[in-house]
Homo-oligomer: A and B are copies of this chain.
């Protein structure tokens, strides 16, 4: 069916014009106009998802909307920001109204949950992909950065690791999980990851550094180590696995997925000894486990692993779109 670009945008994405007081003009003009809350620092991040690379082309559009937003919210969570606005640049091979309806319904449900507003975007014809820009607020000087880790700080992760890689393996029929509830749980972790927004907010006065786990612990923690100019020791026995993951994934595979499977969208953060007590109070009530997996160290370079108290060597890397495998 013929459907002009502008009516398409209007019909599916121009739903909510005034959900936030800091939005003067949202969708519908050449620019969105925002009256930024005074004495707040703005946090901005951008992520692109390409079909066949970041998601399977046949993904349910409702899942895709959840995942695309979660990937971006996870970046806000990593600096401890409160979500505010998003932009959506959507490239579609064709106008599929049923797809657009499911995608936009799901997106607006999520936006409403996070008190966010879609303030602008673009719709173009081309191979399926999208770029989301996300904007949030953080009190001045309180944003968590990758560069703040100090020797002696403890390294934590939220949630469990590897579930998303296991979920993807189920989708691609590389992993067979007979228990239906376990399969559902792993699939959900891949298709609808939960960005740790509340954790990020609670951590911004406690953590010395933070990053979100998009590419895998090895790759992402390396960014903290590089920016903070220090090394780290990780206790492989301490890595948190979900019950479903432990039940259905062989131990070596589990380790590989936990360390370099990617797309868990948990937070990895460092906490000085002094703040460990406050940490329990601050994020203990959020209903998600958090686990100390190691410690920042001045006397090693890069990542060092121990298992049963002994040093082990691993040579896997995190996911890298352009690296030759």
Instruction: With CB as the reference atom, state the residue of chain B lying closest to A222.
Output: B6
Residues facing B in A10-56 (CB within 8 A) are: 24-25, 28-36, 38, 41-54
A164 at the interface (CB under 8 A from B): no
Which of B33, B47, B89 meets A43, CB within 8 Å?
B33
Copies in the complex: 2
Q: How far is the CA of A129 from the CA of B124 in the complex (A)?
A: 11
Instruction: With CB as the reference atom, state the residue of chain B lying closest to A39.
Output: B38
Which of B32, B34, B123, B140 meets A35, CB within 8 Å?
B140
Contacts of A29 on B, CB cut-off 8 Å? 79, 145-147, 227
A109 at the interface (CB under 8 A from B): no
A217 at the interface (CB under 8 A from B): no
A180 at the interface (CB under 8 A from B): no
Decide yes or no: A45 and B24 within 8 Å by CB, A95-B322, A125-B321, A320-B5 being known contacts: no
Q: Is the beta-carbon distance between A44 and B30 smaller than 8 angstroms?
A: no
Contacts of A4 on B, CB cut-off 8 Å? 320, 322-323
A314 at the interface (CB under 8 A from B): no
Q: Is the beta-carbon distance between B44 and A87 smaller than 8 angstroms?
A: yes
Decide yes or no: A75 and B31 within 8 Å by CB, A24-B41, A120-B46, A122-B47 being known contacts: yes
Contacts of A140 on B, CB cut-off 8 Å? 35
Q: Is the beta-carbon distance between A81 and B31 smaller than 8 angstroms?
A: yes
Q: Is the beta-carbon distance between A75 and B126 smaller than 8 angstroms?
A: no
Decide yes or no: A2 and B324 within 8 Å by CB, A43-B31, A45-B31 being known contacts: yes
> How many chain-A residues does the 8 Å CB contact rule pick out?
73
Q: Is the beta-carbon distance between B8 and A32 smaller than 8 angstroms?
A: no
Which of B33, B41, B212, B324 meets A30, CB within 8 Å?
B212
> A: which residues have CB within 8 A of B?
2-6, 8, 24-25, 28-36, 38, 41-54, 75-76, 78-79, 81, 85, 87-89, 91, 95, 119-127, 129, 131, 133, 135-136, 138, 140, 143, 145-147, 210-212, 223, 227, 320-324
Contacts of A53 on B, CB cut-off 8 Å? 124-126
Pairs A–B under 8 Å by Cβ, sample size 18: A4-B320, A4-B322, A24-B41, A30-B75, A30-B210, A31-B78, A31-B79, A33-B138, A42-B42, A46-B89, A46-B133, A47-B89, A48-B122, A52-B126, A89-B89, A124-B321, A125-B321, A125-B322
Q: How far is the CA of A265 from the CA of B203 in the complex (A)?
A: 46
Q: Is the beta-carbon distance between A131 and B30 smaller than 8 angstroms?
A: no
Contacts of A75 on B, CB cut-off 8 Å? 30-31
Decide yes or no: A54 and B2 within 8 Å by CB, A31-B81, A212-B30 being known contacts: no
Contacts of A43 on B, CB cut-off 8 Å? 31-34
Decide yes or no: A145 and B50 within 8 Å by CB, A45-B32, A81-B31, A321-B5 being known contacts: no
Q: Is the beta-carbon distance between A38 and B35 smaller than 8 angstroms?
A: no
